[in-house]
């Protein structure tokens, strides 16, 4: 019985660690072989199908790379990443809106999308590195028919010609724009976090390089509050710029909380402490003759 109790305690410790980020809804870390074209890469969870590249599916500008990983503090990463772009072409991927995003899933015109009004906040994060501060560096959420288009511009984070090389948040095809005070730094990795609250009104917050390993950030670098019936999405898009090796993307996450999209390594000490406690308990049990 003592042995079974010890095993059960060990299993419970591992279960707690495994559940700490159980509310991660969607993830792509581009974990496939370096040199593979981005088009068709079907890694991670929470998507329908793989990444797609507009028009020229063999565009050599969009590939998987591994030479210089994107890193941000102690954020968990896996190593490989996406490199782009190519000749005014965008890449993108469809979310599994119905099965992976239950609390946010809603049916618009017969298509399951993300955007239910009575849902909790939805968090998104990604790592991005532009080769030049003047490049587009655009990541968006959209609902157009083609996965890789962001014609509706439901939500975009990017650099614009009028932003003065600062990160910009926009919604509804640039109907509303909020320019942050955060400068885009050439060839430097930025950790981008977006918080979306659907409702009337909707609110979208952008946090650039927030602290991780603790509480969620409270003061956004850019924010938009607005009302519209068309604020819903079903895909993510990425367009670093118009030629190969002009930008890099990694660690795309969507989840229930800030902690889900900003995971840090589990403290090994917590597990060791629990195992030590289990061992002590077992020895005491032996000493008591149980």
**74-95, pLDDT tens digit by residue?**
999 998 999 999 988 999 999 9
141, 182: one domain: yes
113, 184: one domain: yes
3-state SS record for 113-147: EECCCCCCCEEEEEEEEECCCCCCCEEEEECCCCC
> What's the pLDDT score for residue 59?
82
> What's the pLDDT score for residue 145?
82
CA quadruple 245, 260, 234, 219: dihedral, nearest 10: -80
122, 242: one domain: yes
Task: Extract the tokens encoding 119.
Answer: 């849902």
> What's the pLDDT score for residue 6?
40
11, 130: one domain: no
Answer yes or no: is pLDDT of 33 > 50: yes
> What's the pLDDT score for residue 288?
40
> What's the pLDDT score for residue 142?
98
Bridge partners of residue 247, in order along the sequence: 84, 130
**187-224, pLDDT tens digit by residue?**
999 999 999 999 999 999 999 999 999 999 999 999 99
* Cα separation, 127 vs 258, whole angstroms: 15
- Where are the strands (E) in 20-96, listed by range? 24-28, 47-53, 63-65, 81-84, 91-95
3, 61: one domain: no
239, 273: one domain: no
Average pLDDT, the chain: 88
> What's the pLDDT score for residue 283?
44
Domain of 3 in residue numbering reads as 1-20+266-290
> What's the pLDDT score for residue 17?
41
Name which of 224, 226, 180 is nearest 199 in CA terms: 226
> Considering its fold, how many domains does the chain have in total?
2
28, 156: one domain: yes
169, 190: one domain: yes
7, 139: one domain: no
43, 170: one domain: yes
123, 66: one domain: yes
273, 159: one domain: no
């Amino acid at each position: 019985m003592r042995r079974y109790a010890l095993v059960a305690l060990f299993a419970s410790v591992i279960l707690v660690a495994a559940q700490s980020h159980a509310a991660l809804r969607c993830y792509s870390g581009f974990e496939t072989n370096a040199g593979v074209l981005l088009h068709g890469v079907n890694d991670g969870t929470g998507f329908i199908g793989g990444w797609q590249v507009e028009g020229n599916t063999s565009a050599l500008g969009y590939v998987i790379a591994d030479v210089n990983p994107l890193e941000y503090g102690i954020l968990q990463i896996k190593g490989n990443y996406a490199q782009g772009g190519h000749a005014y072409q965008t890449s993108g991927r469809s979310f599994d809106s119905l099965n992976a995003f239950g609390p946010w899933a809603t049916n618009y015109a017969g298509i399951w999308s993300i955007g239910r009004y009575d849902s909790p906040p939805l968090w998104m994060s990604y790592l991005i590195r532009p080769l030049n501060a003047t490049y587009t560096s655009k990541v968006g959420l959209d609902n157009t028919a083609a996965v890789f288009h962001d014609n509706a511009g439901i939500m975009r984070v990017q650099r614009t010609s009028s932003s003065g090389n600062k990160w910009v948040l926009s919604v509804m095809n640039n109907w509303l724009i909020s320019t942050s005070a955060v400068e885009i730094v050439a060839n430097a990795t930025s950790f981008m976090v977006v918080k979306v609250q659907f409702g009337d009104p909707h609110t979208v917050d952008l946090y650039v390089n927030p602290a991780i390993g603790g509480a969620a950030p409270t003061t956004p670098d850019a924010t938009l509050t607005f009302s519209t019936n068309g604020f819903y999405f079903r895909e993510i898009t990425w367009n670093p710029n118009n030629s190969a090796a002009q930008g890099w993307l990694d660690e795309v996450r969507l989840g229930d909380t800030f902690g889900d999209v900003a995971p840090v390594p589990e403290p090994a000490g917590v597990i060791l402490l629990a195992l030590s406690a289990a061992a002590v308990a077992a020895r005491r049990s032996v000493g008591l003759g149980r």
